[in-house]
Amino acid sequence: MQLGAWSTFGDASVRYEQSKAAAEQYAARLRAQGLEAWFHHDEDSETSVVTIGHFNSTAYDSRSTLFSPEVEALFDKFPAHLVNGEPVEIQAKAGSAPSSRTQQAPRLVEVP
């Protein structure tokens, strides 16, 4: 499950080394909580991601669109996807009032 991404997003005022270090520190904090946590640095896009856990094919049921209890527990514990350490808010419905904004949830990602 991807909990966050740290990146320069093409901004020359942001140093990629700082983004990498922040991702590594977040992964270390998660490990200190007893979680399986990893970071991955993509030098081409200057983006680092932090993921937790590992799941098999039962993590998500595409027929029912339900997640496994293990995955749901992690969504409860980590309700927001982070970008550069801050929760990302998304518009719930295009054109709706700003009050309809909600936090973007972490997401399951496939790791080869």
Q: Where are the domains of the chain?
A: 2-103
Q: Cα(109)–Cα(37) distance, rounded to whole angstroms?
A: 13
- Name the E strands within 1-112: 2-7, 37-42, 47-52, 60-61, 66-67, 82-83, 86-87, 89-91, 101-103
Task: Write down the pLDDT at residue 96.
Answer: 62
Q: For each of the chain's 112 residues, which pLDDT tens digit applies?
A: 999 999 999 999 999 999 999 999 999 999 999 999 999 999 999 999 999 999 999 999 999 999 999 999 999 999 999 999 999 988 777 666 666 788 999 999 987 6
Report pLDDT for 91: 79
